[in-house]
Structure 1
Amino acid sequence: VHHKKDYMLLRSIPGIGGIVACGILCELGDLRRFNNVKHLAGYVGLSPGVHQSGSNYKTLGITPRAHRLIRSYFVEAAWQAIRADPVMQAYYRKHQGRNVKSIIIKVARKLLSRTLAVIKTETPYCIGVLE
């Protein structure tokens, strides 16, 4: 029932605009129900896919089990975040030279963890605070 407050909190994050904020609230509901970022990333589909059998262990990029709409929202928001937020820009530049798609997924996951933190702590995000 804190949709209005959550909406304003989400809007405080660079890269997340009105439409994405609404989408997050509509599709995911109350983010407080997720225990941690791993839990949320698994639900959204921004966690690594893993194939494991005996001693064989292989990572397969991002998991195919996903909430496609929300995942694409976060990927789009990540592109905006790189433009708007110096911290995200630095993070993106640090990984440059690798596959752009894999970097943007990293940024999207960082954005996701930020989103969860903002909602759980109920404090609006401040730009320029290096973690």
Structure 2
Amino acid sequence: MLCRHGIRDHDEAAAKLIEFARQALPPDPVRVPTLQRTLAAAVDLHRCLHRNALELRREAAQALAATPYALLTSIPGIGFVLAAGLAGELGPPDPHRTLDQTCGYAGIVPRTYQSGGPDKPAVQGKVGPRCNRILKDWTVQSAMKLLLYGPNEIKDR
């Protein structure tokens, strides 16, 4: 194990660890049963949390599969967790919501102000204060995953 973790002179280091263990103070015999029960309870709790997390993931995957957002998982880099996060924040797909409205809601595009007619250039403002910051976070995470694992035509953009 020491060799796998890049420890030089692993045989010498192992000998030192064994010697330190021999010199260590033994635990108080009165406390040993309590410490053993505490350790067993911590292991049981860890196993229970792990089982519950797996069950929740399974249920969330089934719920995601029943929505159109399940298609997001077909994009390289977008996994179940990102797709479920995006689906949860976007809500039911609304056929009347445009791409610009969705981008504004997510807070990934700033507001554009234009007054004075078409002859004056548009002025870029700040991102709206009512944007969904959680959706923005999921969107940025998805973009980073696409940058790392997505197809080359998307990476180039």
Query: Aligned pair in 2 of structure 1 residues 36, 71: CA closer, same or farther (>3 Å)?
Result: same
Whose Rg is larger? 2
Query: How does the TM-score come out when normalised to structure 2?
Result: 0.47
Kept in 2, the 8 Å contact 1:46–1:63? The answer is: no
Are residue 39 (structure 1) and residue 101 (structure 2) matched?
Answer: yes
- Name which of 129, 132, 147 aligns with 1:82: 147
Alignment partner, residue 46 of structure 2: none
Alignment partner, residue 72 of structure 1: 137
* Deviations, residues 33-68 of structure 1 (Å, cap 9, x unaligned): 443211211221222222445467420354443100
Kept in 2, the 8 Å contact 1:47–1:62? The answer is: yes
Q: Structure 2, unaligned stretches of length 5 or more?
A: 1-62
Q: Structure 1, unaligned stretches of length 5 or more?
A: 92-131
* Deviations, residues 64-87 of structure 1 (Å, cap 9, x unaligned): 431000111111110110112211
Residue identity (%): 29
Kept in 1, the 8 Å contact 2:114–2:123? The answer is: yes
Kept in 2, the 8 Å contact 1:51–1:58? The answer is: yes
Query: Aligned pair in 2 of structure 1 residues 53, 17: CA closer, same or farther (>3 Å)?
Result: same
Aligned residues: 91
Higher strand fraction (1 or 2): 1
Query: Aligned pair in 2 of structure 1 residues 34, 78: CA closer, same or farther (>3 Å)?
Result: farther
**Amino acid in structure 2 at the alignment position of 1:88:** I
| DSSP-derived class of the 1:31 partner | coil
| DSSP-derived class of the 2:66 partner | helix
**Amino acid in structure 2 at the alignment position of 1:81:** L
| DSSP-derived class of the 1:40 partner | helix
Query: How does the TM-score come out when normalised to structure 1?
Result: 0.55
CA-atom RMSD in angstroms: 2.7
